[in-house]
Amino acid sequence: MYPWIVNALILLSAIGDIARFPSPKQLVGYSGLGASVHASGKTQRTGKVTKQGRRELRTALVEAAWVAVERHPHWKEAFARLSARSGKGKAMVAIARRRLVVVWHTLSERRADRHGQTLPMAQKLTRWATYRQVATRQGLSRGAFVRRQLEQLGLGQELDQLPFKGKRVRLPSPEAPPAMVGGEAERVPLRAGECRGTPVNRRPSVAFPSTAPTTRSSLPDTF
């Protein structure tokens, strides 16, 4: 199983219903990533993280933070700025904490991260669609599955295809009905050098749940 799927499973199972946390501060405290506070008289200072929350949640968040600072320009820049001031260890914890705040906003407000990168996200969705034939089990081609997920996030209207493992996955237009697997197929013309995948049908759109699935075989990466 892909590591990012494992991290997403850990994250969602540990958080449960996001409505349990009225503010991101409460979620951060639940994870144990919040800084401890030492008060004496009129003096107050912050110390190390409390580590009083869900250990597996903290571990998953820190692992994801390392990947983010290696691959994502926004988090790479933030890490460089923070590590110059407070060291790499504290900077990484701060990045993990900030990303958890992003998770709270994403789940509570049901909107995509404003720093999210559409193409890498679409490629991860394609891997998810391929993993254990998740798309096929829903009666969709990979391209239709990816388009459906992107539409829920309000992303990817500009994408009509994406590179994946040396090939190109065609995405149906945002207003088109999903491409279904099986039956009489409408062949999509391919360019020279491209491999033809599963033929697709054009059928009426199928309603998709408003909440993200949490089963091991059908969970995406939301951050």
Residue 213 lies in a domain: no
Q: What is the pLDDT, as a whole number, of residue 50?
A: 63
Q: What is the pLDDT, as a whole number, of residue 49?
A: 67
Is residue 145 pLDDT above 60, yes or no?
yes
Do 65 and 160 lie in a common domain? no
Q: State residue 73 phi and psi, 5-degree precision.
A: -55, -40
Is residue 199 pLDDT above 70, yes or no?
no
Q: Tell me which range, 1-5, 121-125, 200-204, is most confidently predicted by mean pLDDT.
A: 121-125
Do 68 and 125 lie in a common domain? no
Do 123 and 152 lie in a common domain? yes
Residue 220 lies in a domain: no
Q: Could you tell me the pTM of the whole model?
A: 0.67
Is residue 84 pLDDT above 60, yes or no?
yes
Do 93 and 24 lie in a common domain? yes
Query: Is 219 in contact with 5 (CB distance < 8 Å)?
Result: yes
Residue 22 lies in a domain: yes
Residue 90 lies in a domain: yes
Do 18 and 97 lie in a common domain? yes
Among the candidates 82, 109, 136, a domain finishes at 109
Average pLDDT over residues 204-220: 41
Do 124 and 85 lie in a common domain? no
Q: What is the pLDDT, as a whole number, of residue 67?
A: 93
Average pLDDT over all residues of the chain? 78
Q: What is the pLDDT, as a whole number, of residue 185?
A: 33
- The three-state secondary structure class of 37 is strand
For the chain, report the end-to-end CA distance as a whole number of angstroms: 17
Token pair belonging to 45? 């200072």
E strands, 29-85, where?
A: 35-40, 43-49
Among the candidates 79, 109, 139, a domain finishes at 109
Q: What is the pLDDT, as a whole number, of residue 179?
A: 62
Q: How far is CA 127 from the centre of its chain?
A: 12
Burial class (CB within 10 angstroms; exposed 0-12, middle 13-18, buried 19+) of 122: buried
Residue 10 lies in a domain: yes
Q: What is the pLDDT, as a whole number, of residue 48?
A: 64
Do 76 and 137 lie in a common domain? no
Do 136 and 174 lie in a common domain? yes
Q: What is the pLDDT, as a whole number, of residue 82?
A: 96
Q: How far is CA 136 from the centre of its chain?
A: 21
Do 131 and 59 lie in a common domain? no
The predicted-structure confidence for 172-198, as pLDDT tens digits, reads as follows 998 776 665 543 333 334 444 443 343
Among the candidates 109, 135, 156, a domain finishes at 109
More reliable by pLDDT, 212 or 81: 81
Do 138 and 185 lie in a common domain? yes
What does DSSP assign to residue 59? Answer: H
Residue 172 lies in a domain: yes
Do 37 and 59 lie in a common domain? yes
Q: Structural domain of residue 192, as residue ranges?
A: 118-202
Domain total for the chain?
2
Residue 216 lies in a domain: no
Q: In whole angstroms, how far apart are CA 101 and each of 23, 71, 106, 178, 185?
A: 9, 19, 9, 34, 45
Q: What is the pLDDT, as a whole number, of residue 40?
A: 41
Q: What is the pLDDT, as a whole number, of residue 213?
A: 42
Q: For strands 167-170 and 179-186, give the pairing.
A: unpaired
Give the Cβ contact number of residue 176 at 10 Å: 12
Residue 217 lies in a domain: no
Do 98 and 16 lie in a common domain? yes
Q: What is the pLDDT, as a whole number, of residue 191?
A: 45
Q: State residue 3 phi and psi, 5-degree precision.
A: -55, -35
